Structure 1
Amino acid sequence: MINKIGKITVYVEDQEQAKDFWVNKLGFVLKLEQPMGPDFFWIEVGPSGEDEFTTLVLYSKAAMEQHDPSKVSHPSVLFSTTDIDAAYEKMKQNDVKVGEMLRLPFGTMFSFYDQDGNEYLLREDK
């Protein structure tokens, strides 16, 4: 029936700032950018240059609020890494706001925040 997660929408205040955050601070790649009217774009970013992976859609919050205000909420997104310490240091070097490193019996993880203050979690997979 369902064989993969295709896209996760993140509602952002400024699409250019969001694109800069994900591409230049977190090292994601721009997968798609196309106009959707005079004031905003359809922008997709993802964690690698491969053809098959889940993307984040950086969608205009203002545009969605005009269309359907009840849809504007932030999803809980958990990202994975194989080297949590390196990722933590790289984000700090790139001026990404990060939370405390949590080393728990079931995994090591930390929160980080995008340009709009949305919270995400990065967890180490070994």
Structure 2
Amino acid sequence: MINKLGQVMLYVQDQDKAEAFWKDKVGFKVIAYGGSEEMGIKWIEIAPTEDAATTLVLHDKAVISKMSPDLNLGTPSLMFYSDHIERLHAEFKGKNIETGELVDMGTGRSFNFADDEGNYFAVMETV
């Protein structure tokens, strides 16, 4: 039986730029750095908080493509949650994050945003 989602892999063009985006603009924390010099692979594990149940792991898309050519390297559709959606929306705009309009979804307000590689994610108001 599966009892939780542990990690979500994000395959990125530039790990250092992706790390800076998630840390400096979104406010995530680095949980761990890892990898294997022998295999030529490194990863960066990040999360909204140090004790988050689910983390994101930033992998180099080109390296993973060589290791596993049949792997789907597309960006997953992720929905984040926020207790302060209006404040977060304004903060993202103030940090020059490409941000969609705040819209009422009937079950709460939501907006989308893009990382520096043009991948879109969404944030939903916690109700």
Give the aligned partner of residue 83 of structure 1.
Answer: 84
Alignment of 1:10 with 2:10, yes or no, is yes
3-state SS in 1 of match to 2:65 = helix
For structure 2, which runs of at least 5 residues remain unmatched after alignment? none
Alignment of 1:62 with 2:83, yes or no, is no
Specify the code of the residue in structure 2 equivalent to 1:30.
V
Give the aligned partner of residue 20 of structure 2.
Answer: 20
Deviations along 1:82-105, one digit per CA (max 9) or x if unpaired, are 111011011111111111211132
Superposed, which structure 2 residues align to 1:32-47 within 5 Å? 32-37=32-37, 40-47=41-48
Give the aligned partner of residue 92 of structure 1.
Answer: 93
Cα root mean square deviation, aligned: 1.4
Aligned length: 125
Return the alpha-carbon distance in structure 2 between the equivalents of residues 124 and 68 of structure 1.
37
Identity, in percent, stands at 33
Contact 1:36–1:42 (Cα < 8 Å) also in 2: no
3-state SS in 1 of match to 2:59 = strand
Deviations along 1:49-104, one digit per CA (max 9) or x if unpaired, are 22x42100001000111122332111111100011101101111111111121113
Specify the code of the residue in structure 1 equivalent to 2:109.
T
3-state SS in 2 of match to 1:98 = coil
Q: CA deviation at 1:20?
A: 0.3
Instruction: Give me the TM-score of the superposition, normalised by structure 1.
Output: 0.92
Return the alpha-carbon distance in structure 1 between the equivalents of residues 36 and 117 of structure 2.
22
Instruction: Give me the TM-score of the superposition, normalised by structure 2.
Output: 0.91
For structure 1, which runs of at least 5 residues remain unmatched after alignment? none
Runs of 4+ in 1 over 3 A off after TM superposition: none
Of 110-119 and 37-46, deviating more is 37-46
